[in-house]
Chains A and B, each alone.
Chain A
Amino acid sequence: MILDAKRVRRYFGWAFDTTRETHLRTLSDVPLFKGLGRKLLRKLIVDLNEKKYTAGDIIFHEGESGKAVYVVLEGSVKIIKKSKSEHRTIAVLGPGSHFGEIALIGNCPRIATALAEEDSLLLIMYKSYFDNLIRGNSAISSRILLNLAGILSAYIHRQDLFHSSNQPE
């Protein structure tokens, strides 16, 4: 082939978006997007938005309608669940982690609150862009939905283990 991608990138490197390439590498390690090739990831990445949150910013509240999924690029995010009268931290997520993925399935309410523990940079994917993208692309939708099913089954499994280990003998 006369025009191979590597040669084009070597001569026209200035024309390519390096920030997106960095995001691409981060996304390929995120469990939700596992198995998507670079070509499919590139389609996905165009619709993502980047936002900086300062320490203490609430990203979303528990009970709100979920409309986006988040990927942590820098910093850390605390996931807090309200139980009875107290707030319990159920996870602290670092770079490469994702949260809020249930929003991709439907307009489900958020099951926990997300709070920026320190100054953080997040990638945000909105459900409407995701729906628009997968409408004509079964390769992306089937892979992400499979990953999502895997993540949810892992949650259920963890919950079962947690409950069984807490049961009195």
Chain B
Amino acid sequence: MNEEKRTGSALLADLREHHSQTPRWVLLLLALGAAAVVASRITHLIIMLIAAAVIAYVFSSVIIAFERLGIKRSVAVILLFVLLGVFMMGADLIFIPHLKQEIMHAYAKFPEFSAQIQDTLLLIAEQSAERYPVIQSSMIRLVEYVFGPKGFLERTLNASEILTQVKPFIMAPILVPFFVFFLLKDWPGVIKRVMDWVPASYVETTISVIAEINILVGKYLRGLVAECVSVGVLASGGLWLSGINYPIVLGILSGVANIIPYFGPVVGCTASALVALVQYRSFDPVVNVIVLYIAIRLLDDLVIQPLMIGKSVHLHPMLLVVTLIVGERLFGIMGMILGVPVVTAAQRTVAILLEHHRETLRREAAGSFVKEHLAKAPIRPI
């Protein structure tokens, strides 16, 4: 019986030893794999959670401003929602009717507009056929890919396709504000839980890292939103002053596209230039639009970004392309748009964690160096 017991405990010890021998990276990879499988099943919920986290980060500074007046956090969150409600009602009265009108007009005119763009592009292709035959063939291929039957536009703007894309997000207008409310209200509670859970002597370092990440990611996301709004307003105002059609829709498109570095500004400029080309059937307004977007780009790079985001936190171009492709594959267009800020924030987080790790190693090395030298040559009183 005793031997049996010993065998059992030895078996348990063997198992424990075997478990402790499994490399950590294998466990990490297994956990990541399992997380990826779960994530692929609930992609829409994840998009809504990410969107809610970004919105919560953006508005957390408003909550802090209320708290600095001595107001309770829960009351501050309710106040924020009331203010946002009033703002949205105001927007519904002033701004939304114009936007609706622009969208309805653009939707009604779309077939005609699309045909005009096709004609203009084919005309350019025809004109350049003699000198540059390569341009002609590429232009024809581009027109077929974008405007042709089962082309990009038909696939994207197909009513059933739009419905399929939008259907899973039907609950978003309720769920996203719901998530935002609780993220804002309960964030200090989460930190408190972490503080209670972490052993006392590790609290300082753990919360310090969380605080640093929180400050940097918050600053980046708030800056990014402020930058996109500024670019959208500038583009909208500039297009309206130049007399280009659909300035509100094009301004919103330019602002949202601006989240994606390098490609975003090109997308906004191309869409506005195409509208100008079809509207005036001349290249002069197109040149005006391009000059406007270059001016906005310069203003953004030299004034808005340094002021709003601070030092550059952009993604490396290679990482950006990978993010866009993976984001599109996993979560569609929303994945492309939200992927950039999420990966940029993750990049900052990893940088902070590595910096803390390096600091710990430096300190440990310095400590052992001093101890070693003290042992060899003890300090004598002077």
Residues of A at the B interface (CB closer than 8 Å) are 15-17, 20-21, 42-43, 46, 49-54, 57-61, 63-68, 107, 109, 116, 124, 126-129, 132
Contact = CB atoms under 8 A, between A and B. Distances in A.
B67 A49 contact: no
A15 B71 contact: yes
Given A49-B192, A65-B359, A126 B69 contact: no
Contacts of A127: 208
30 contacts: A16-B70, A17-B67, A17-B71, A17-B72, A21-B70, A42-B68, A42-B70, A46-B64, A46-B68, A49-B191, A51-B203, A54-B200, A57-B201, A58-B201, A59-B200, A59-B201, A59-B204, A60-B201, A60-B204, A64-B363, A65-B359, A66-B204, A67-B204, A67-B205, A68-B204, A68-B207, A124-B204, A124-B207, A129-B211, A129-B215
Contacts of A65: 205, 359-360, 363
Given A15-B75, A64-B363, 16 more contacts: A15-B71, A17-B73, A21-B70, A57-B200, A58-B201, A59-B201, A63-B363, A65-B205, A65-B363, A67-B204, A67-B205, A107-B359, A116-B200, A126-B207, A128-B208, A128-B215
Nearest to B65: A46
B212 A128 contact: yes
Contact of A49 (B71, B73, B205, B207): B207
Nearest to A9: B70
A156 B204 CA distance: 27
A40 B243 CA distance: 49
A17 B204 contact: no
A149 to B, nearest CB: 24
A97 to B, nearest CB: 18
Contact of B69 (A21, A42, A61, A66): A42
A18 to B, nearest CB: 9
Interface of B: 64, 67-73, 75, 191-192, 195-196, 200-201, 203-205, 207-208, 211-212, 215, 359-360, 363, 367
A85 to B, nearest CB: 14
B70 A128 contact: no
Contacts of A107: 359
Contact of B67 (A46, A66, A116, A126): A46
A61 B201 contact: yes
B70 A17 contact: yes
B291 to A, nearest CB: 36
A15 B204 contact: no
B366 to A, nearest CB: 9
A50 B192 CA distance: 8
Contacts of A16: 70-72
A49 B187 CA distance: 12
Contacts of A42: 68-70
A21 B359 CA distance: 37
A109 B366 CA distance: 12
Given A58-B200, A67-B208, A43 B68 contact: yes
B70 A132 contact: no
A21 to B, nearest CB: 7
Contacts of B71: 15-17
A54 B196 CA distance: 11
A109 B72 contact: no
A30 B47 CA distance: 46
Contacts of B205: 64-65, 67
A63 B368 CA distance: 12
B204 A128 contact: no
Contacts of A68: 204, 207-208
A16 B196 CA distance: 26
B52 to A, nearest CB: 22
Contacts of A67: 204-205, 208
Contacts of A66: 204
A132 B208 contact: no
A49 B208 CA distance: 11
A87 to B, nearest CB: 16
Contacts of B204: 59-60, 64, 66-68, 124
